[in-house]
Amino acid sequence: MTTTPKWRLVLIGGVVAGAIDMAYAIAFWAIKANLPATRILQSVAAGLLGESSFKGGWRTAILGLLLHVFIAISMAFAYYEAAKRLPALHSHPVVFGALYGGALYFFMNWIVIPLSATSRGSPDPLWIG
């Protein structure tokens, strides 16, 4: 019996988390504001390209998807590396994973996005309403 290399599990975890997150965002904004999937994906690319990402069609939408997946894989890898050094992260993954997810939400929305080339995004707190 062979075991799956840990880097492959981290990669799969990042891709799955990124896919679920993006599917949620696409569904949410389709319902809330009737926005197409391309617009949501382009909004990720806008962090790198600014407003010009919305004029790039599917090319910038694909770039946004690739960036989103890369970020999700990076986040999964960071948790994996931290869990190797902090046993509590490994022994209580649900609790610390949820805390990590919350920390990432605030980090992305209060540090990364404001420092990126994109506009601020939705004024709705936590996009509720």
Residue 108, both tokens: 């992305």
User: Is 97 contained in some domain?
Assistant: yes
What is the pLDDT, as a whole number, of residue 121?
Answer: 60
Res 1: pLDDT: 61
Alpha helices in the chain (DSSP H): 6-33, 37-49, 57-85, 87-91, 93-107, 113-115
Number of domains in the chain: 1
- Domain holding 108, by residue range, is 10-121
For residues 115 and 108, the answer to whether their CB atoms sit within 8 Å is no
> Is residue 21 included in any domain, yes or no?
yes
Looking at residue 75, what is its pLDDT? 96
Distances from the Cα of 64 to the Cα of 1, 68, 69, 76, angstroms: 38, 6, 9, 18
Report yes or no on 92 lying in a domain. Answer: yes
On whether residue 2 sits in a domain, the answer given is no
Q: Is residue 94 part of a domain?
A: yes
* Confidence at residue 86, expressed as pLDDT on a 0 to 100 scale: 95
The confidence score (pLDDT) of residue 129 equals 45
How far apart are the C-alpha atoms of 103 and 82, rounded to whole Å?
14
Block means of pLDDT (10 residues each) for the chain, length 129 residues? 85 96 95 95 95 96 97 96 93 94 92 84 53
